[in-house]
A and B are shown apart, each in its own frame.
Chain A
Amino acid sequence: DVKVTQSSRYLVKRTGEKVFLECVQDMDHENMFWYRQDPGLGLRLIYFSYDVKMKEKGDIPEGYSVSREKKERFSLILESASTNQTSMYLCASSLLNNGRIDIYEQYFGPGTRLTVT
């Protein structure tokens, strides 16, 4: 059974803290994605990665960085958390096809609801 897991379902951090959100997939997928989901705004892509040590900026990368040292793991890093980064963060993975971002189904994790106070 396909599985994408995220390290925490709920997280509360203070302003200025460094925050790590971890995502692991067990499907040997090349692509991995980080989104944030906010009411009325839908899903917005932060970063994606199509291979180990490769990363591409999405629509809203400011204030975030990512790390992909192993194929199955994709980390989202908030270098200095701010209150406007309070959100639901979704990780997803998919197969790669001829270098295209994704024409295949994305498999999503359960999400991490991050609150920055």
Chain B
Amino acid sequence: AQTVTQSQPEMSVQEAETVTLSCTYDTSESDYYLFWYKQPPSRQMILVIRQEAYKQQNATENRFSVNFQKAAKSFSLKISDSQLGDAAMYFCAYVDDKIIFGKGTRLHILP
């Protein structure tokens, strides 16, 4: 069965610094999708970034980028120039014919 592991329950980063959130997954499938979602405090969850497994190029969205290592089954999220508004719970999700979320990483931004 597929699993998704976020090994860092909480992380802190200084404002304007760079932080990397880790996500590993286990699957025997070759065709799947990976997502990072952000859940700010008391606000709705929103998509941060999406990666198709068949694409070798790492996805980027402004200050957010991923390091997708298919062979290692790793999908980390890098946030550059961290801002106070980046403080949130971040969830990694794996999707093929089912969707599986990790347990989340709570990110604190230190002013």
Contacts and interface: CB of A to CB of B under 8 A. Distances in A.
B88 to A, nearest CB: 13
Given A42-B91, A42-B102, A45-B99, A105 B44 contact: no
Nearest to B106: A39
Nearest to A38: B103
Contacts of B102: 42
Given A40-B103, A101-B95, A106 B44 contact: no
Interface residues of A, number: 21
A44 B103 CA distance: 9
B99 A108 contact: no
Contact of B97 (A41, A100, A110): A100
Interface in B43-77: 43-47, 50, 52
Given A108-B44, A110-B44, A43 B97 contact: no
Contacts of B104: 42
A102 B6 CA distance: 21
Contacts of B33: 103
Contacts of A105: 35, 47, 50
Nearest to B42: A110
In this complex, the member of A33, A102, A105, A111 whose beta carbon has the largest number of chain B beta carbons within 10 angstroms is A102
A2 B37 CA distance: 16
Given A40-B103, A41-B103, A101 B44 contact: no
